[in-house]
A and B are shown apart, each in its own frame.
Chain A
Amino acid sequence: MTPEEKKQLEMTACRLRMSALEAIHAANSGHPGGSLSAAELFTYLYFKELRIDPADPKDPGRDRFVLSKGHTAPGLYAALALRGFFPREDLLTLRQIGSHLQGHPNMNLTPGVDMSTGSLGQGISAAAGMALAAKVQGKPCRVYTLLGDGEIQEGQVWEALMFAHHYKLDNLCVIIDNNGLQIDGPVGQVMSPYPIPEKLRAFGLEAVEVDGHDFEQLEAAFNKARETKGVPFAIVMRTVKGKGVSFMENQAGWHGKAPSAEEYRQAMAELNAALAELEAQA
């Protein structure tokens, strides 16, 4: 990754954060915390990793992405809009009657959404089913799925991991957003999923830990994922919930709450300042 490319991705991540917050603010409802913690991941997937075409969102040969932690739909929608799957103005219809942007992803309404999700623990199974089907069909496409660190408390996640390893789904990449917080508080206090990489390795996956806000580390992990054969690959991202907005960072209270008008102004001011700084460096 060249310094220039990295800078471009960082700027896109900043715009993605602003777009997600615009949508949540317009809806006066939604999940900012986990959308912001995964902003670099959404950016990397949709602007670097996935083989997709916004002009042909149903291309059978495309790579798939399943947002298993479906509540962070604003982050995904922002990525899809910025990548050109639908107009950016649509983001302002989030969660409204008649909008194609449901509170949780709907594959039949939103261009670019590969699976309807929202009920935690099910998306990873669907992703495993896609990866298995690709093997059966001899398609070279890869399947990516993003889970929350609270979500992996669901037993179904471990059923899916067992399945993915059993059927040697090396075309499946499981990403876990370890932002450390869930609705009721720190994941380690609510119901500890730790140690995460060790558990994944015990299930037979190849697993790496990265700083989920560092594009160079993400690139190295995804390159390794593509080169790994015979077993599914897992990327555990250490992230900050609410990343990029000072008063949202590391606050469980920002899991599923829209900012007030004043909070929104401050959040956008901070993100605009960050973007201006990146542009000045560019």
Chain B
Amino acid sequence: MSERMKIATRDSFGSALKELGAEHADLIVFDADLAGATKTGIFKKAFPDRHFNCGIAEGNMMAVAAGASTMGLVPFVSSFAMFAAGRAFEQVRNSIGYPHLNVKIGATHGGISVGEDGASHQCCEDFALMRSIPGMVVMCPSDDVEARAMVKAAYEYRGPVYMRFGRPAVPVIHEEAGFSFTIGKGEVLRQGSDVALIANGLLAAEALDAAEALAGQGISARVINLATIKPLDEDLVLQAARDCGKIVTCEEHSVIGGLGEAVCAVIAEAGLPCRVKRLGVNDAFGHSGPAAELLKQFGLSAAHIAELAASLI
């Protein structure tokens, strides 16, 4: 798998904004002193008159975007996940979510793979926070192709959207040609019947590698990419539960409140006999270190996924 090209989904976010900006004059962008890191700077370079730096004031930025959206503009707001979902939670909840305004939050630097900056900047709680807001769409793309399509789908969708992008370059696992993205729809990346690996974000590629390793052990693993965490593709999850009876959820997020719990809730309420193991950050804060090493240390790798899946067989 080493020949896969690698691109950070935050770069995909920035380039998709620039493409959309050329087509849609009503698209404006807000950032909070992180335009270089969130990659909204790519949009700013092309459309300086439609990019507004709000300074280090994320709460104000969210409500400013809410106000701008009531005038008919389509604001994309960006900061690190920690500050977009964490610091500004209440502004997102009350000024964007409650009035169901047409604001798109592009949060970068999600998860433990932020790396060297350490725990204060490694947000592993954003899925939980954003899922809890009524009417909020919550998504996390697996690669560049999906991320760019997702940003465009977010523009076309009417209502509040939270998207989480990552800092490090991650493998491109989709073919550009013929790819289409629909909010709320997951996809089967690899067929299998012994166990289902349900992943999103950078763990989708790891799940594919895990499935390959499991095949070597005679275990047939289905790999599902659920880029939309809310609304969840319940049909795809229930089908996997029926067909495989064993599921491993894989997310670069706390095991509390994210993809894993969303999957568990759907299966439990359907009353299906299915074992689920949640692979994620186990109710812990991160720490400084290179992203690749941190992911291994926190058990977020193909090897860990394969091990957990094999333990269910």
Contacts and interface: CB of A to CB of B under 8 A. Distances in A.
B95 A122 contact: yes
B95 to A, nearest CB: 5
Contact of A116 (B52, B73, B75, B98): B98
Given A132-B52, A133-B73, A125 B68 contact: no
A102 to B, nearest CB: 10
B59 interface: yes
Q: Secondary structure at chain A's binding surface: helix, strand, loop or mixed?
A: helix
Interface in B49-66: 49-50, 52, 54-55, 57, 59-66
Contacts of B49: 136
B234 interface: no
A63 interface: no
Contacts of B98: 106, 116
Interface in A57-81: 60, 64, 66
Contact of A156 (B63, B67, B69): B63
B95 A125 contact: yes
B154 to A, nearest CB: 19
B249 interface: no
- Most chain A CB within a 10 A radius of its CB, from B28, B55, B62, B68: B68
A66 B75 CA distance: 19
A167 interface: yes
A108 B60 contact: no
Contacts of A139: 71
A107 B94 CA distance: 12
Given A107-B70, A133-B73, A126 B64 contact: yes
Contact of B67 (A119, A129, A159, A167): A129
A163 B62 CA distance: 12
Given A156-B60, A159-B60, A106 B68 contact: no
B94 A133 contact: no
A118 B52 contact: no
B68 A129 contact: yes
A136 B50 contact: yes
A106 B99 contact: yes
B70 A115 contact: yes
Contacts of B62: 125
B91 interface: yes
B68 A156 contact: no
A163 B65 CA distance: 12
Contacts of B91: 122, 125, 156
A64 B72 CA distance: 13
Given A125-B67, A127-B67, A132-B68, A137 B73 contact: yes
A108 B68 contact: no
B26 to A, nearest CB: 9
B71 A163 contact: no
- Most chain B CB within a 10 A radius of its CB, from A123, A133, A134: A133
A125 B73 contact: no
B304 interface: no
A59 to B, nearest CB: 12
A128 interface: yes
Interface of B: 28, 49-50, 52, 54-55, 57, 59-73, 75, 90-91, 94-95, 98-100
27 contacts: A60-B72, A106-B99, A114-B70, A116-B94, A116-B99, A122-B59, A122-B63, A122-B91, A122-B94, A122-B95, A125-B63, A125-B91, A126-B66, A126-B67, A126-B95, A128-B60, A128-B67, A129-B67, A129-B68, A129-B75, A130-B68, A136-B73, A155-B59, A159-B57, A159-B60, A163-B55, A163-B60
Q: Which 7 A-B pairs have the closest CB atoms?
A: A129-B67, A125-B63, A126-B67, A159-B60, A133-B71, A129-B64, A159-B57
